Amino acid sequence: MTSKTFVVITGLALLSGCGSPDVDVEAEEKHLMDLSREWSAVAAGDDVEDLMSYWSDDAVMMAPGQPPLRGKEAIREFVTSTGEIPGFSISWEPLEAHVAESGDMGYMIEQNQITIPDSTGDLVTQYNKVITVWEKREDGSWKNVVDMWNSDPSREK
Amino acid sequence: MTSKTFVVITGLALLSGCGSPDVDVEAEEKHLMDLSREWSAVAAGDDVEDLMSYWSDDAVMMAPGQPPLRGKEAIREFVTSTGEIPGFSISWEPLEAHVAESGDMGYMIEQNQITIPDSTGDLVTQYNKVITVWEKREDGSWKNVVDMWNSDPSREK
């Protein structure tokens, strides 16, 4: 066999042999940061289905003072109820993203602001730190599988 | 070239071609669950350095009502100060673990119990839900890179 034949066969074998192609981790991390900013912009609107589309069907929301909300229906119920609170608003920004070498899992450290009426009806803004965990689905789309936040007094204005 | 030669060359190419060896994701997930239980047992003792050894040097602790505590020194300071509170204790249990295909990142949903004195000095126990994120280091050891918790009223006794 010629060395040329060897190179061709080896090349073909390499192309077909690996479970997943090389992952550009930095590009995936940038993609997650962009996705978070995009999601926050969607949350400023009133399209609940668009908002819901960022969660996986089996996502778990870990909101302060709530039991874990498991699955899209439980999350939809929570999101819908908060959306009906007069004056309620939420926005967030990602601070850093980290993606696994295989490109199928990642997480972000983020921060959010939630404005709601206090017991007297005056609107108050809560400042929180956030962790979100993401998994890439078969179709190549990233979906949120866990999001959790709690208060960050260092951000209070 | 004979088909036998092709098989041999292809086999060699497959063996050498993939960036990372096959990862037993289920075994890694079980390992993380065991590591969490082990860490909780260590937290019941008074060996701060053993307790600290589970965090990565660049870990971020996201405790309720605290700014993000970035890095092992900030975490050590917090852990030491809480450890000095009379009657303080913490324990936790992992509920589920998920590891990336590459075996270098994983996360767990957990729950913890924190007992501390209230304003009158009576010991009270807080029940929390928890997210921990883990990364595997060069030496093959898993280290905690983020842990975050908040209250879960559904667990109050």
pLDDT digits (tens, 9 = 90+) for A26-59: 999 999 999 999 999 999 998 999 999 999 999 9
Is the separation of the CB atoms in A78 and A147 below 8 Å?
no
Strand order in the sheet with A142-151: A69-70, A55-62, A142-151, A123-136, A105-117, A89-99
**Is A68–B150 a contact, with Cβ atoms under 8 angstroms apart?**
no
Give the pLDDT of residue A3: 58
The residue among B131, B146, B155 with the most chain A CBs within 10 A of its CB, best to mutate, is B131
Residue B26 is predicted with a pLDDT of: 98
ipTM score:
0.87
Give A107's contacts in chain B (Cβ within 8 Å).
105, 107, 133, 146
Token pair of B139 as six digits: 């030496």
Judge if pTM exceeds 0.80. yes
Nearest chain B residue to A100 by CA distance is B105
* Residues A148 and B148: beta-carbon distance below 8 Å: yes
d(CA B110, CA B95) in angstroms, rounded, equals 5
The helix-helix angle for B3-17 and A3-17 (nearest 10°) equals 50
Contact A149, A64 (CB under 8 A): yes
Chain A contact set for B62 (CB, 8 A)? 109, 129, 131, 150
What percentage of chain B carries pLDDT values higher than 70?
Answer: 87
In whole angstroms, give the CA distance from residue B107 to residue A146: 10
| Closest CB to A62 among B131, B145, B153 | B131
Say which range, A58-67, B6-15, B81-90, B132-141, has the weakest mean pLDDT: B6-15
